[in-house]
Amino acid sequence: MEATLSILGLYNYQPAIFDSLTIPTSVDRETLIDNIIMEAAELELLFPNADILGRLIGNWSKTRLAAWNRMIGALDAEYNPIENSDRYEDHLEDYTRDLKESDNYTRDLKESDNYTRDLKENDNYTRNLTDSGNSNSSGSTQNSRTGYNSGDLQVTDSSSSEDHSDETRSYTGSDERNKGYTGGDDRNKGYTGGDTRHTVIHTHGNIGVTTNQHMVEAELKLRQYDIYKLITNEFIDTFCIGVY
């Protein structure tokens, strides 16, 4: 059955019918249009009016754009066709160790506020020793004799003496002893560090549920299609009458 009006005939009359066609950025517009015209040239259009068809093509392509982009992502995905398992495990562990005896692992052991030992044996002696004395002594001596013609004693001579001594002994002095140790001790024994571990495990291969031969056959069947063929088939199903 010969088509009354095909997409080729309408395109020759009005090429602007594809102006509103919205397609993924990776798809070449002229290639897609040529492929649609070639595949649907023998089929009758469901909407033979150029203005109406142009508007409907624009609306249809906008609603299908997201799906086409997903199709392209699936068709262009990189994978090994004979592997049915491809799993990644990514572990990132970040440890930060901040071991401290105080908040900052700063030991500030102090005998005073600043751990300053100011140990002093400070004796200040002032000695004012005085040994003072007064000594007074006096005495007299009298000699007497008896004469040959008398039995009475007669003073022959006399002497007297007086002794006075005033003695003061004093010692004034001081003794200052300073036995001191002044020092400080500031100890900071701290460890601050980190440990980062990054482990990536990639497990892939054939887990045995499907043979390699079956996976190759499925890959060959999939590659019979491309995004141009997929969009063209959708166009035919939407805008053409599938009767030859």
Assign 184 a pLDDT band (cuts: 50, 70, 90).
low
185-198: per-residue pLDDT in tens?
555 555 566 778 88
Is it the case that residue 112 has pLDDT exceeding 50?
no
Instruction: Indicate the average pLDDT of the chain.
Output: 75
Mean per-residue pLDDT for 164-191? 59
64-82: per-residue pLDDT in tens?
999 999 999 988 888 777 6
DSSP string computed for 22-82: ---TTS-HHHHHHHHHHHHTTSEES---HHHHHHHHHHHHHHHHHHHHHHHHHHT----TT
- At residue 217, the pLDDT reads 81
Decide which of 27 and 162 is more confident.
27
Distance, in Å, from the CA atom of 29 to the CA atom of 34, rounded to the nearest integer, reads 9
Report percent pLDDT > 90 for the chain: 34
**In the Cβ-directed half-sphere of 116, how many Cα atoms lie within 13 Å?**
5
Tokens 């160790």 label which residue?
97
Residue 113, both tokens: 């506020």
Is it the case that residue 242 has pLDDT exceeding 50?
yes
Q: What is the largest CA-CA distance in the chain?
A: 215
15-25: per-residue pLDDT in tens?
999 999 999 99
- At residue 231, the pLDDT reads 97
- At residue 72, the pLDDT reads 92
193-228: per-residue pLDDT in tens?
677 888 888 777 666 667 778 778 878 887 878 999
The dihedrals phi and psi of 62, each to the nearest 5 degrees, come to -65, -40
Q: What is the pTM of this model?
A: 0.50
Assign 105 a pLDDT band (cuts: 50, 70, 90).
very low
Decide which of 108 and 132 is more confident.
132
- At residue 169, the pLDDT reads 62
